[in-house]
Amino acid sequence: MTDGIEGKGSCLCGAVKFTAMKINSHVGVCHCDMCRKWTGGPLMAIDCGADVKFEGGENITVHSSSEWAERAFCNKCGSHLYYRLKEPNQHIMPVGLFDTDISFIFDHQIFIDSKPSFYHFGNKTKEMTGEEVFAQYVPAED
């Protein structure tokens, strides 16, 4: 699901730098309660897969936000760095962190059923409810 594009970026203060080896240039927005609480609004992010290299790891604080995922931030400036699915080590990273000149395409929204009514995006995108997201990405329990 990656475009194979390399992307580089950093947090606001530069204490954490990263290189994502194979990013997907398709931007998604998450409207779930956790992402909105974490970012103060919808999370606009891209899939960076498992191959992400970080510099300044001592400045990264990780919070396990669920059994299957964790979120990380720079402990110097507070920039949100990634939402990571523990299996398969998939990094979803805020698109605003990237310094690389990439032609991003905003094309999907998830947890659309959790989106508050006070904002709207004009782009025509694929939309998935929370139930559809869990059905597609979260392993079923035995």
3-state secondary structure string across 27-95: EEEECCHHHHHHHCCCEEEEEEECCEEEECHHHEEEEECCCCEEEEEECCCCCEEEEEECCCCEEEEEH
Cα(17)–Cα(37) distance, integer angstroms: 24
Its domain, for residue 18, covers: 5-55+96-117
What is the chain's percent helix, strand, coil content, to nearest 5? 15, 45, 40
Q: Is residue 18 part of a domain?
A: yes
Q: Furthest-apart CA pair in the chain: how many Å? A: 44
Question: In terms of DSSP bridges, do strands 43-49 and 52-55 run parallel, antiparallel, or are they unpaired?
Answer: unpaired
Mean pLDDT across the chain, nearest whole number?
A: 92
Q: Is the residue at 22 inside a domain? A: yes
Residue 33 lies in a domain: yes
Question: Per the domain annotation, does 111 fall within a domain?
Answer: yes
Residue 11 counted as domain residue: yes
Higher pLDDT, residue 4 or 103: 103
* 15-28 mean pLDDT: 95
Predicted confidence at residue 138, as pLDDT, reads 63
Q: Is residue 31 part of a domain?
A: yes
Is residue 141 scored above 70 in pLDDT? no
**Backbone φ, ψ for residue 16 (5° rounding):** -120, 125
Domains in the chain, number: 1
**Arithmetic mean of pLDDT, 10-30:** 96
Query: Is 82 a domain residue?
Result: no
85 falls within a domain = no
In sequence order, the 6+-apart residues with CB closer than 8 A to the CB of 63 are 70, 71, 72, 73
Give the predicted TM-score (pTM) of the model.
0.87
> So what's the pLDDT on residue 134?
82
Instruction: Tell me the pLDDT tens digit for each residue of 41-85.
Output: 999 999 999 999 999 999 999 999 988 899 999 999 999 999 999
